[in-house]
Every structure is written in structure tokens, then in C-alpha cells.
Chain A
């Protein structure tokens, strides 16, 4: 049975994340958004407090939280700033392939030193020629003795300009399609690893995104994750794990939008009363609240399912897709509640809309999520 009551341990994890979000992140959110600044000092502090490598088990130096508890934390962080949250949880995304596909030796060799200090990692799947169609990667890995030689370009890679480690998906044989793909752990120090310059983005401007070029980068075979050709499966299983926290991130944005809108509606007067007393505004707030609560519950359900040992492809796709669509709608309505002020950068709600948008795109666009959902659904019918 699902139990909706949080344990006192979960409450204290959430409270800690809330405190960090409010005291360390929120005060800098607007400034980083405006300037497109990557607040390294905040990320370092997040690492110091154990907020960074949430999914890595403690034996490798991470925090080792269940997915459900990760979601509680991500929602709180995203309430303060979704962009910073994207950069904070990018490590979880980048390290998950190692947790899923790595051997004990690889996990200790790679993760122990990585987690022991403040480091960022990037997950490199998307390419300029396409993100959704992950089976037709162009980045090439050529076997050369006990090394692979990587050539190609990845794009839209979170934290890439500052990462010390990349998990890279590349094909050894494009004709094999999915079956030719392998996952590699590539150190930034490797010659021929060339992160590009930071992109100018619409939202999540406290996060950094860039291309990474590989020009004859030599990666030891010992850094290949899983059996030869297992890379695609590792990528998909990784996304099954990390999609749900995107639902939590979107929920955090929606909660922030409602918090701002409700408080504003009680303060702003028109026609002699607070706009919160106009029914049109109440209906908006009621609809926003329904969307928020459904988003949170679907996220919790997906996390709970996966924590109970199931793959949860359907549940996590539903959660991510629904929650990000909900965040988009709720942020949109929050701006409407604010009226003209909502459209001004001096007020916090327009940022929420720009931030919510990304949740519909990355970690598998919502179109792709719907394809997954439909596939999972139809499989259940003869």
C-alpha cells in the first residue's frame, strides 16, 4: 500500500532541503537568472551538505537516498530555483549509468574519488542531429587496442563547461543502430575532450549548458560500462530512474507559482476588494492547486513504484509529462493572476514560466513521454 504520511526522517530531509533552498538558493535566484551566472559557490555548498550525489550509495561516497526521498528534496530545491536544481541534480543523471552498468571495481575506482570532493559530471547523450532519436547517434567510438577513440559532438549538455567527468554514449557501428551503442566514462583531462561555450538560454539560466566535442579522445576499455553494445539499454534505464525527479522539479515550480499567486491575490485590490475575493481568480487558484497536487502524487507514485523494485517506465513517463505540463499551465496562470506585474522581470513569476518550459523538453520531450506511455499501455492489450 502507498502510505502518504512522510516519516519523521523524510520530514527532516525535506526541511533541510527547504532551508538550503530558501537561505542559500532563493536569495540569488533572480540575480543568477538575469546575469546567466553559474553560482559555483552554491553548488559547492550543496555538495558539502550532501545534496549533490543523492542517488549514489554511501559505500561510494554519495548520499544514497531512495528515489522518493530524492524527489522530496528536488521539489524543495526547485521551489527556490529550477535552474540551480538542474545543475545540482545533473550529477545524479551523469552517474546513474555507472550505478546501473558499472562493475564493483569501476564504481569504486570512479565514484569514490569523484564523490569525495566537489565535482560536477555531465550526461552526454543528445547530439546536434537529434536528441529524441537516441538510437541513431553519430558520435563514433573506434576500438584501438585497450582503448576506444571517440569522435563526434554532443550538444545541450548540462554542466559540461565545468564538469570533470562525462558519461558519453557513442556508437561503435552505426549500422547496428541501438545495438552498436556503448556508454563510456570520460575524464575531462583526456586529450581531445573539448567543451564548448555556454549557451544563452531562455530559462534555467543559473545552469550551464554547452556542447562537448570529442576529437580523437582515447578512453580506456576499462571505462566502458556494461557489455559491448549495452549502452543504449543503460541510457534508457538511466532515464527511467531520473525522469521522476524531473516531475518533482516541475512540482516545485508549480508550488512556487501558487505560493506567489495566492499571496499576491490576497494583497492586490481591485474594485474595492482583494482580487482573491473575485471568483474568477479563485477558480484559477483552485485549478492550479488541482494540477499541483496531481503532479505531486503522480511523482510520488512513480518514485514509490521504482523504489519497490519495478522499472516504472510508464509511471515515470506519466509523472514527468504530467507534472511538467502542469507546471507550465500553473506558471502561466500565476502570471495572469499578477496581471501586468507578472510580465515584469522584477516579479518572480515570469521566470517560473521560462523554467517550467524546459521540463517539457529535456530528459525526453513530452512527445516522447507520450510515445512511451502509449507503448506501455498498448503492450498490456493483446
Chain B
């Protein structure tokens, strides 16, 4: 079976955030683009499934400016994905989850993919909408956020585990389906150096911007318009509780939580 895993380039977590000149988005100057954290969990899950289901191949798909998308695709290949497709973001296309879903739909509608894995949300815009929107476009099931996906060879079915209050819900997924990953059961693997070297030379299938433009034309009208990008006022540092004994510290803290912060249950 073929598994597709959606990978998004996002600014590295240590990026120093700054609004751009227009004040409506992130200043891309000096930003290092890396594979989104939850997407890395999705890649790990895809590779674990590939290792447990004979005849499975994994294709990584990324939508974005070409250079960035290809960089995360090479990373996915270095981790063990078999193939990659980059869906080029047309210049001026809005950054909106519905537009992204439509672009990825173009890449997916052409292949018989049994399972689409993605991260629960990307570390930049954190919408979590691409997976469900894509599922609706493909007309297939979508099972929400899973912490683990297992292949049951006896019944040829996928079992997901989802974290809910007090435990885990087990869900039997029928394919084709979209599943979002929260954190892989196992930590995402580290790419081996020789595989990184090989991934630099791997062929990447490209969907050119011209084709993508027409695929996203209709949803583009729904895209949100960015008005402002702001940094929160810097936290001024903690107000320190003065105390002479642990009991006094506890008493004072509880009083503050109740009377000043108003968060005491």
C-alpha cells in the first residue's frame, strides 16, 4: 500500500520572531526552515508502518516555496521515505490551510493512496485544519489526532490510539483515511549520515506552480487575509513570593492565586 505523509517547512523553534515591514506577517529574514515537529512524528509513524506492512511505500509531500519544500522533503527521504513530491506554491498565493489542502489535494488525487498521515498542527500557524480539509476534499474518513497507529496483520486493519481524558480510545480505521499524529510512540528517528548524503541526490517529483494555481483558484476566495502579526508584550518577569517557611510560601501563593490571579479552583 502507499502511504502519503504531509510535511511542512516551518521556522525553526529557536527562530527569533519579528513582524515584517508591513506588520502583517513573520519577517522571513534569517529564518531557518525545518520540518514541523508533529510532521516529524507523522514521518516516524509512516516509517514504522512501512516496516510492519510488507510492500508498503511512503511518499512525502510538501506544499510551499520550492526551495523550502524540497529541503524538508530531502530530510524526509533521509529519514527513510521512498519518494517525494513537491507542490510549488505560486507566487502571491495566500498562506491559508484551505489553500494548502487544495494544493495537496492536487498531488493526492492523482494517486491511489491508502493512508494520509500528517502532524496534528504545524508549529507556526497551528491551525490543524489541513488534514481534515483534505479528507473532505478527498471524500474519505479522517480520524483526528492519534498518538499511535498500529497495523493488525490478521485483520488487515489499522488501529489508532487517541488520547482522551483519563486514557486512550482505540479506534479501528477503515482505509482510505487521513490520520493526524501528535507524538509518535517512539521518538522520531535521527537520519543516518549516509542517508542524508544520498537524499541530496534523490529525485523529487514536482508539481509546478502553473498547475497548482488552477487547483487552488476556487478556495483562494475563502483564504483569510493577514492584518497583523504581533509579539506579546514581554513578560516582565515573575513576581517573587517572599516567605520564611514553606508553609508561609504555600499560604501566600494560594492567596495570590485566589485573590489576585483569580485562578484558584
Tell whether any CB of A sits under 8 Å from a CB of B in the complex.
yes
Q: A48 to chain B: which residues have CB within 8 Å?
A: 192
Q: Give CA–CA (A228, B181) in the complex, Å.
A: 62
| Residue A13 interfacial (CB < 8 Å) | yes
Q: Give CA–CA (A15, B35) in the complex, Å.
A: 12
| Residue B200 interfacial (CB < 8 Å) | yes
Q: Give CA–CA (A24, B190) in the complex, Å.
A: 10
Given contacts A8-B71, A12-B78, contact A49 B193 (CB under 8 A): yes
Q: B199 to chain A: which residues have CB within 8 Å?
A: 12
Inter-subunit contact A12/B190 (CB<8 Å): no
B93 to chain A: closest CB distance in Å? Answer: 24
Inter-subunit contact B75/A12 (CB<8 Å): yes
Q: Give CA–CA (A51, B196) in the complex, Å.
A: 12
| Residue B197 interfacial (CB < 8 Å) | yes
Q: Give CA–CA (A8, B193) in the complex, Å.
A: 14
Inter-subunit contact B78/A49 (CB<8 Å): no
Q: A24 to chain B: which residues have CB within 8 Å?
A: 190
| Residue A108 interfacial (CB < 8 Å) | no
Q: Give CA–CA (A162, B75) in the complex, Å.
A: 34
Inter-subunit contact A12/B196 (CB<8 Å): yes
Tally B residues with Cβ within 8 Å of A.
Answer: 15
Q: B192 to chain A: which residues have CB within 8 Å?
A: 48-50
Q: Give CA–CA (A73, B199) in the complex, Å.
A: 18
| Residue B194 interfacial (CB < 8 Å) | yes
B206 to chain A: closest CB distance in Å? Answer: 17
Inter-subunit contact B194/A58 (CB<8 Å): yes
A58 to chain B: closest CB distance in Å? Answer: 7
Q: A189 to chain B: which residues have CB within 8 Å?
A: none
Inter-subunit contact B193/A51 (CB<8 Å): yes
Inter-subunit contact B74/A12 (CB<8 Å): yes
| Residue B13 interfacial (CB < 8 Å) | no
B76 to chain A: closest CB distance in Å? Answer: 12
Given contacts A19-B190, A20-B190, A49-B190, contact A13 B196 (CB under 8 A): yes
Residues 47-87 of A at the B interface (beta carbon under 8 Å)? 48-51, 54, 58, 63, 65, 73
**Chain A interface main SS type:** helix
A44 to chain B: closest CB distance in Å? Answer: 13
Inter-subunit contact B191/A16 (CB<8 Å): yes
| Residue A9 interfacial (CB < 8 Å) | yes
Inter-subunit contact A16/B196 (CB<8 Å): yes
Q: Give CA–CA (A16, B197) in the complex, Å.
A: 11
Q: B195 to chain A: which residues have CB within 8 Å?
A: 50
Q: Give CA–CA (A53, B135) in the complex, Å.
A: 45
Q: A51 to chain B: which residues have CB within 8 Å?
A: 193
Residues 73-111 of B at the A interface (beta carbon under 8 Å)? 74-75, 78
Chain B residue nearest to A20 in the complex (CB): B190
Chain A residue nearest to B75 in the complex (CB): A12
Residues 182-224 of B at the A interface (beta carbon under 8 Å)? 190-197, 199-200
Inter-subunit contact B194/A16 (CB<8 Å): no
Chain A residue nearest to B70 in the complex (CB): A8
B23 to chain A: closest CB distance in Å? Answer: 27
B9 to chain A: closest CB distance in Å? Answer: 13
Q: A49 to chain B: which residues have CB within 8 Å?
A: 190-193
B203 to chain A: closest CB distance in Å? Answer: 16
Q: A73 to chain B: which residues have CB within 8 Å?
A: 193
Ranked nearest first, the 5 interchain pairs of A and B with the lowest CB-CB distance are A50-B193, A50-B192, A9-B200, A50-B194, A49-B192
Query: With contacts A50-B195, A58-B194 known, what are 16 further pairs, Cβ within 8 A?
Result: A12-B75, A12-B78, A12-B196, A12-B199, A15-B34, A16-B191, A48-B192, A50-B192, A50-B193, A51-B193, A54-B193, A63-B193, A63-B194, A63-B197, A65-B193, A73-B193
Interfacial residues, chain B to chain A (CB-CB below 8 A):
34, 71, 74-75, 78, 190-197, 199-200
Interfacial residues, chain A to chain B (CB-CB below 8 A):
8-9, 12-13, 15-16, 19-20, 23-24, 48-51, 54, 58, 63, 65, 73
Pick 12 A–B contacts, CB within 8 A, sort by A.
A12-B78, A13-B197, A16-B191, A20-B190, A23-B190, A49-B190, A50-B195, A51-B193, A58-B194, A63-B193, A65-B193, A73-B193
